[in-house]
Amino acid sequence: MAILSVNINKFATLRNARGGNNPDVVKAAQDCERYGAQGITVHPRPDERHIRYDDVLELTNVVTTELNVEGYPDERFMELVLRSKPAQATLVPDGPDVLTSNAGWDTITHKEQLTEIVSELQKNEIRTSIFCDPLDEMVQGAAEIGANRIELYTESYASDYHKNPSRAVHSYKQASRVANSLDLGINAGHDLDLENLRYFISEIPETVEVSIGHALICDAIYLGLENTIQLYLNKLRQD
């Protein structure tokens, strides 16, 4: 069964809209764990428009499952990750002006840069995951960089799922076969939700982890956080 890592950025977005500490991001993370989440994901950005760098340091002291810190590996991000030492660092190619992740790495063009970064993280016993589009050559590149895992960027799957599920997942299945042959773990994330998650997992049962934030938090507004997390966990169970 793939583990569910809840991205709590949206809690921080709501808090930052009014100032103060409501909702409490640290408590939100603890509640997610208490309700069954097997990991917590955060994505601090340079403008700190949602998760702040200080939040990450606080979460390091309270998360009892796995903390996954994702972001663009500039100097400040690397300092934060090496200081907080999460279970996993997910490297994404987002620039500072990007609203949300919208593409995977070109692991060939950025091979030298990423190889150095991955080596540094692994020396500090931090598992590394590279955000990837479902392209064979990019998965191969991630393996050559020395990453432990890839995170498949699932926006195109989610967009096409309602038109033709089999076609939507096809490239992801192929990329996963390549990853398996190269001993890369497979994570997935972006626009996965209660409608499309089970099919993705059934077609790619070797998925190790899914990171879900926006859809899950939107569902929680109507369904409640505890109930929503349980619904997502049920989708991940391969009966």
Task: Judge whether 206 counts as a catalytic residue.
Answer: no
Q: What is the pLDDT of residue 96?
A: 56
Name the residue range of residue 194's domain: 3-236
Q: Which of 121, 131, 112 is nearest to 209 (CA)?
A: 131
So what's the pLDDT on residue 103? Answer: 80
Which residue among 66, 151, 190, 209 is the active-site one? 190
What is the pLDDT, as a whole number, of residue 189?
97
Q: Find out whether 72 and 80 touch, Cβ atoms under 8 Å.
A: no
Gap between the terminal Cα atoms of the chain = 10
**183 pLDDT band (50/70/90 cuts)?**
very high
pLDDT (tens digit, 9 = 90+) per residue, 77-93?
999 999 999 999 999 99
Whole-number Å distance between alpha carbons of 97 and 131: 18
Q: Which member of 33, 43, 50, 209 is catalytic?
A: 43
Confidence band, pLDDT 50/70/90 cuts, at residue 101: low
pLDDT for 99 equals 47
Q: In the annotation, is 190 catalytic? A: yes
Is the model's pLDDT at 97 over the cut of 60? no
How many folded domains does the chain comprise?
A: 1
The CATH number that applies at residue 154 is 3.20.20.70
Q: What is the pLDDT of residue 102?
A: 60
> CA 227, 193, 178 angle in degrees (round to 5)?
130
For residue range 10-63, what is the model confidence (pLDDT) as tens digits?
A: 999 999 999 999 999 999 999 999 999 999 999 999 999 999 999 999 999 999
* Interatomic CA distance for residues 218 and 23, integer angstroms: 15
* 214 flagged as catalytic: no
pLDDT of residue 188: 98
Catalytic residue, candidates 33, 50, 66, 70: 70
